Structure 1
Amino acid sequence: MRKADLQDTDNAEGDDAKAQQLVSPVIRGLRLLRYMAEGGSTANLSEVGRRIDVNRITVMRLLATLEHEGMLERLPQGGHQIGFEFLKLASTVLAANDLTSFARRILTRLSESLQLSAYLVVRDGGHALYLLREMPKTALVSNIQVGSRIAAHLTTPGRVLIADLPPDTLRDLLGNDPLPTATGQSPGTHARLAQILAADRERGCAWSFSAFEPGIDSCAAPVHDRSPIAIAAISVAGPHQRFELDPTLHERVEREVKVAAHDLSILLGNRQDGLQG
């Protein structure tokens, strides 16, 4: 048997072993809670069963169990809503965390998935302040350090942090023309910056191809709480040659960065549905 076949067999056996440790009723209960948290109704038990892939009787048992534990509450007019005990549990978790602790877990997952450096960035006046960084175990990574403070219009996270600000506010923050530049691709005027920010807003993220660090490409997406103005940005950066060698990486990076920013936004209280782009 070839080495590759042996590895496939080992992986399959490992997956089977993991599957045997899973508790099916717990999985079904979590699916039901997730369905409810996303706005699903329990008025039609057959429809609920179809959505979470169980039969009608199982749905009834799950509902009774979750009601008993206070995770769901029955409504007088029929159906259910998320229960007070569930809300208390969620509030306890949220109270014990903040922007950086939530973000660190998301950045770790993002960096491991893409094998690129991942950052959490906030706006400090007219600058982008790099708060967190998670790095893959590779030789080629971005050189931006935690604590770096860079003119916001020069980097992708900085751009998404200022994308929704009024022109007068931008001029107050960044100063008059000409704007400082890092490379020939940097926007040197407010007119050029406005064009770039409009494209970023339309796409739902910002891209840079060696525009700040030569040989380094970057993508960033905005993080929102309940405010329409981004409170933070999540970005990834890595060598341009990675993108040249893998034609699927560009699309995957954009998708995963948007998802990461959306997930962090949800944790911070944003309830807007869907992902842009």
Structure 2
Amino acid sequence: MTHPETSPDIDERYIVPGLVRGLQVLQSFTRERQEQTVAEVARQIGATRSTAFRLVYTLEYAGYLRRIADGKRYQLGSRVLELGYSFLAGKDLIEVANPILAHLRDDTGTSTHLVVREGRDAVYIARFQGNTSLISAVTVGSRLPAHATAPGRVLLANMSLSEVVALYESFEFTKYTDATPDSMGDLVSLVEGDRKRGTVVSWGFYDSNVASVAVPVYDASGEVAAAISISCPINTFDRETFEGRISTQVERAGMEISRGLGYRAGM
């Protein structure tokens, strides 16, 4: 038996032909060919129909293929997805996010960030400096008040209301601009609005000269693992462009990172 990707150092005595054939069956299902009959599988892998039937039957038994309603066609089963998502879930957050944040920086010209929450702090764990005139003091490791920053608001919005109230009980709010909440009531109202919108746009919210957009990043379990954000001088874009095209680019980047961590929308 030969295989086009076999290394010359591989001793084929230890290869299990049936396993190789089974993997070929799974690989024969593609985006363009999501459903197949046994005859179609046989043709794709170059096997007899009886051999293909045994392979398909075994893969169905193991949960890697699923027979659809007409009883003649098959599609990939949930076990295949579980394998992929288990792998993705083990990938490091920063490892997944960095190239996407760098690409987002290049596309928008803005500074891009990856942020997690520790208590009432928004902690910046990755950053790519943009090419705008803004010289930001935010570096990796910086801590900013969650209630006053766009990524912090995203992270607070994905907590329950009781958790937010408990976190800020007896907290002395600092008002950085006129838009910053300075009471528990203001914060709760802001968080409830952010929760409905999902995307947080800050137009001079923490710094009156800075505009930001932040969105959540989800892990394989569907929980919010972090937030990503961009920032730039407030006069870099007109507000319509910033809240439209730029926000959409940030949302796409957030979903791309989420998918890289194994997130499935609608799970």
TM-score (norm 2): 0.69
- The worse-fitting range, judged by mean Cα deviation, of 251-260 and 223-232 is 223-232
- The worse-fitting range, judged by mean Cα deviation, of 98-107 and 223-232 is 223-232
Letter in structure 2 aligned against 1:147: G
CA distance in 1, matches of 2:175, 2:221: 30
Structure 1 regions of 5+ residues with no counterpart? Answer: 1-29, 45-59
Aligned to 1:79: 74
CA distance in 2, matches of 1:146, 1:100: 12
Aligned to 2:165: 171
CA distance in 2, matches of 1:213, 1:133: 18
Letter in structure 1 aligned against 2:149: T
Deviation at 1:268, TM superposition (A): 1.7
Instruction: Say whether the 8 Å CA contact 1:121–1:132 is kept in structure 2.
Output: yes
**Which of 1 and 2 has greater Rg?**
2
Deviation at 1:178, TM superposition (A): 4.1
Matches for 1:1-277 after TM superposition, within 5 Å: 33-34=30-31, 41-42=34-35, 64=44, 75=66, 77=71, 78-81=73-76, 90=84, 94=88, 97-176=91-170, 178-227=172-221, 229-244=223-238, 247-273=240-266
CA distance in 2, matches of 1:273, 1:190: 32
CA distance in 1, matches of 2:168, 2:158: 14
Letter in structure 1 aligned against 2:152: G
Aligned to 1:10: none
Instruction: Say whether the 8 Å CA contact 2:201–2:243 is kept in structure 1.
Output: no
Partner secondary structure for residue 185 of structure 1: coil
Instruction: Say whether the 8 Å CA contact 2:88–2:262 is kept in structure 1.
Output: no
CA distance in 2, matches of 1:95, 1:233: 17
1:205-244 deviations in whole A, cap 9, x for unaligned? 1111111123110010011224554220011111111123
CA distance in 1, matches of 2:154, 2:256: 17
Structure having the higher helix fraction is 1
How big is the alpha-carbon RMSD for the aligned residues of Structure 1 and Structure 2? 3.6
Instruction: Say whether the 8 Å CA contact 2:126–2:140 is kept in structure 1.
Output: yes
CA distance in 1, matches of 2:254, 2:220: 14
Partner secondary structure for residue 224 of structure 2: coil
Partner secondary structure for residue 185 of structure 2: helix
Distance 1:140 1:170, change over 3 A: same
Q: Whose RCO is larger (CA < 8 A, sep 6+)? A: 2
Tell me the matched-pair count: 221
Instruction: Say whether the 8 Å CA contact 1:165–1:229 is kept in structure 2.
Output: no
Distance 1:141 1:201, change over 3 A: farther
Task: Give 4+ residue runs of structure 1 displaced > 6 Å after superposition.
Answer: 82-88
